Structure 1
Amino acid sequence: MTKETGFNELIRKVRQELFGKGPERIHTTFADNMAITMLYGNLTKTEQFLVLEDHGKLVVDDARTKMIQKIYPDQFQEQIELYMDNKLLHLFSDINIEKDVAVSVFIFQDKISA
């Protein structure tokens, strides 16, 4: 298993634990000290229903983005750092609700080794 594949599985597990559903597909690229992760098929059935209305789109987008940025460092940073053998400095995350595609950029202290 490649480091990227293991990282994808860790992120899938974290997202499943956090939202009750993991992404259907994940692709991660390591570049210098960053892990850039694209996540496809993220929304739960309830979220898919909520986003049918404009207000629901805002609620789901805001909740997902803020939850990830707040809860990852509190609950999952240690797991991520252990797997990567690297200190996680920053996490940036966003989701396109209409396309059900999310991106997370993990910035680590040191260059990521394969």
Structure 2
Amino acid sequence: MKKIHEFNDIIRKLRKDLFGKGPERIHTIFIDNMVVSTLYGNLTPTEQFIARTPEGKEMVHRARTSMIQAVYANEPPEGLEQLVDAKFLHLFSDFKIDDDIAVSVFLFDRPID
């Protein structure tokens, strides 16, 4: 439980630093070599305003998913690999703008204890 809490803190801090607002709530589970996190309440007031049109919604979705994947592809957040004692391989993520829910699946090189 402590490991999940610390994992969520790392995710929250990165997203707060990156987007100006971290998720209000995160639910994380460890499954084999994957960590699955569901993030609720992510959007800033500006993003909510932009997402009122279909074009704006697509822009926010693209920015949120592409940007976070690019950050992780460049380098995983500090302390992430040490916390789970495994090498980070890839991040898969998607965002449901209407419901302000994001899902991130973190893939590691070995099972997480």
Distance in structure 2 (CA, Å) of the matches to 1:107 and 1:88: 6
Moved more, 42-51 or 81-90: 81-90
Aligned pairs, number: 113
| Aligned-partner Cα distance in 2 for 1:18–1:72 | 12
Q: Which runs of 5+ in 2 are unaligned?
A: none
**In the alignment, residue 89 of structure 1 is paired with which amino acid?**
L
Contact 1:14 1:76 in 2 (8 A): no
- Residue 28 (str. 1) matches residue 21 (str. 2): no
- The amino acid across from 2:37 in the alignment is T
Equivalent-residue separation in structure 2 for 1:29 and 1:42 (angstroms)? 19
For 1:31-50, list aligned pairs within 5 A.
31-50=31-50
Residues of 2 paired with 1:23 and 1:77: CA distance?
16
TM-score (norm. length: structure 1): 0.93
Q: Alignment RMSD, CA only?
A: 1.2
**Structure 1 stretches of 5 or more lacking a match?**
none
Measured in 2, the distance between the counterparts of 1:95 and 1:60 equals 9
Look up the match of 2:79.
Answer: 79
Give the 3 Å change call, closer, same or farther, for CA 39–67 of structure 1 in structure 2.
Answer: same
Q: Please report how far the alpha carbon of residue 81 of structure 1 lies from its aligned counterpart in structure 2 after TM superposition.
A: 1.2
Judge which range, 16-25 or 67-76, deviates more. 67-76
Percent identical among aligned pairs is 55
Which structure 1 residue ranges, 4+ long, deviate > 6 Å from structure 2?
A: none
So what's the TM-score if we normalise by structure 2?
A: 0.94
